[in-house]
Structure 1
Amino acid sequence: MPQAEILTTAQGRSLAYHKTEGTGPGVVFLGGFKSDMQGTKAVHLEAWAQRTGRAFLRFDYSGHGQSSGAFSDGCIGDWAQDAMTAIRALTDGPQVLVGSSMGGWISLLCARGMADKLAGLVTIAAAPDFTEDSMWAGFDAAQRAALQENGEVALPSDYGAPYIITRRLIEDGRNHLVLRAPLDLPCPVRFLQGNADADVETAVALRLLDHAQGPDMRLTLVDGADHRFSDDDCLALIETSLEEVLERCGTA
């Protein structure tokens, strides 16, 4: 596999990335919380882009994968800033963003913060506002006290070592909520969600669809699909949804 290239941001963070040249609108994959650009969906979409001649970008947020920094030092604002910097610096023209889990939240922040770079949007098990609505709302009194007193709390994870959740992550998340104010998505949008997702409830996808405003939004619920959304059928659905968005971009 080719070695990742490095983009240095104005904040001094080094972001690792892989870029595929091709036709536009390009596609940018935005990964999830503590995930990286070597994940199944990112690599699958890169192969799809190479096969179809489409421009494609995958990268690691700071504190993730091969990029610089410690994961526990980061927050939603940092990672959204990383994404916007990478999109501005490494892509040409409007892009279709594919956001997975936390990447769905990041993609919505990008849509709000750099609308000129948005051609379309596909989210996969999007987790907007999860630091507030899932983490903080789910903390018991002891966990909230530990967060305030110690600056962090450990949460068990089904994906490996416990997540260290910092007070900065929670407090910064409140500055980047997208479900409390108007959310305009003036482009083709496809939300994908599994009903067997143990991390993001179907209610979140329904709330997002109900809250966002746009001329071409659809939510697809997949029976039995979990949060990974990475089996063959789910990957095929991601491709189909992306191709539909790209086709509609061309006729918008």
Structure 2
Amino acid sequence: MPQFLDRDGTRLAYEHSPGEAPGIVFLGGFKSDMTGTKAVALEDWARRQGRAFLRLDYSGHGQSGGTFEEGSIGRWRDDALAVIANTMPERNLLVGSSMGGWIALLIARDHPDRVGGLVTIAAAPDFTEDGYWAAFSDAQRVELFERGHIAVPSDYGEPYVITRHLIEEGRDQLVLRTPLPLPFPVRMLQGTADADVPQDWAIQLLGHAEGPDLLLTLVKGADHRFSEPAQIDLIERSAADVLSRMT
């Protein structure tokens, strides 16, 4: 059963498994929730290792309160920081999937005292700008500014409602335009058949980030879900590798 934390009147849902530190924090993607295949599989693995584990739903996601349309990258980062501070305030291993990779990078850059290592899975830093905004036509950009939102088709169900606030606030959270120090072990995982996050983004992130122990693994044929058994095994092995190197 989920636990809840009140943050400024919004109930944030999370699942926390106690165990040995450093713990593992799983940060999910855009419109995903904490019951996804990767989050649950990694939690099971952490429990077998006796390792503390945290997964959570941002506001407007899953079992948390609030509405998705009111959200933004900065708000969801702060949701994650609030739950982490409440449950596992030590230096943890962050595992960020898709948008969760961006959020993990923001936390690593701005709150390095919370982070001892990082694993990203199809990380999507700056996707509001380099993905959505860059792909919008002039007509879509006009609609976004005049109406305040636009519906974008999704391969995962209902169209995504992209708001003007999401785009504009996202520009305050970009990580690929300024230095990005990652002074701890980092493992980046990326599928070559990912239709949502191009492998070029992963290569750009690797080239841009600064750190002594950064490794990118490209998995031929893997898509954005990155949830096949062999891919889950790779996530777990990457987490074990980073944990073994954390001090």
Category of TM-score, reference length = shorter chain: over 0.9
How many Å apart are 1:87 and its aligned residue?
A: 1.2
Give the match for residue 237 of structure 2: 240
- Are residues 1:4 and 2:2 paired? yes
Count of matched residue pairs:
247
What is the CA–CA distance in structure 1 between the aligned matches of 2:50 and 2:116, rounded to whole Å?
18
What is the CA–CA distance in structure 2 between the aligned matches of 1:195 and 1:72, rounded to whole Å?
31
Give the match for residue 154 of structure 1: 151
Give the match for residue 171 of structure 1: 168
Give the match for residue 67 of structure 1: 64
- Are residues 1:182 and 2:179 paired? yes
The correspondence of residues 1-252 of structure 1 with structure 2, limited to 5 A, is: 3-9=1-7, 11-250=8-247
Which residue type is aligned with residue 2 of structure 2?
A
Runs of 4+ in 1 over 3 A off after TM superposition: none
Equivalent residues of 1:194, 1:202 under 8 A apart:
yes
Q: Percent identity?
A: 61
What is the CA–CA distance in structure 1 between the aligned matches of 2:36 and 2:112, rounded to whole Å?
27
User: More deviation in 12-21 or 58-67?
Assistant: 12-21
What is the CA–CA distance in structure 2 between the aligned matches of 1:165 and 1:124, rounded to whole Å?
23
What is the CA–CA distance in structure 2 between the aligned matches of 1:219 and 1:126, rounded to whole Å?
11
Which residue type is aligned with residue 27 of structure 2?
L
Equivalent residues of 1:185, 1:213 under 8 A apart:
yes
- SS for the counterpart of 2:158 is coil
Show CA shifts across 1:178-204 (max 9, x none). 000000000000000000000000100
Query: Gapped runs of 5+ residues in structure 2?
Result: none
What is the CA–CA distance in structure 1 between the aligned matches of 2:229 and 2:27, rounded to whole Å?
20
Which residue type is aligned with residue 117 of structure 2?
G
What is the CA–CA distance in structure 1 between the aligned matches of 2:238 and 2:61, rounded to whole Å?
27
User: More deviation in 201-210 or 79-88?
Assistant: 79-88
What is the CA–CA distance in structure 2 between the aligned matches of 1:119 and 1:72, rounded to whole Å?
32
- SS for the counterpart of 1:180 is coil
What is the CA–CA distance in structure 2 between the aligned matches of 1:198 and 1:165, rounded to whole Å?
19
Q: TM-score, normalised by structure 2?
A: 0.99
Query: Gapped runs of 5+ residues in structure 1?
Result: none
How many Å apart are 1:93 and its aligned residue?
A: 1.3
CA RMSD of aligned residues (A): 0.6
What is the CA–CA distance in structure 1 between the aligned matches of 2:68 and 2:145, rounded to whole Å?
19
How many Å apart are 1:92 and its aligned residue?
A: 3.8
What is the CA–CA distance in structure 1 between the aligned matches of 2:94 and 2:220, rounded to whole Å?
24
How many Å apart are 1:67 and its aligned residue?
A: 0.2
What is the CA–CA distance in structure 1 between the aligned matches of 2:83 and 2:106, rounded to whole Å?
14
What is the CA–CA distance in structure 2 between the aligned matches of 1:189 and 1:8, rounded to whole Å?
31
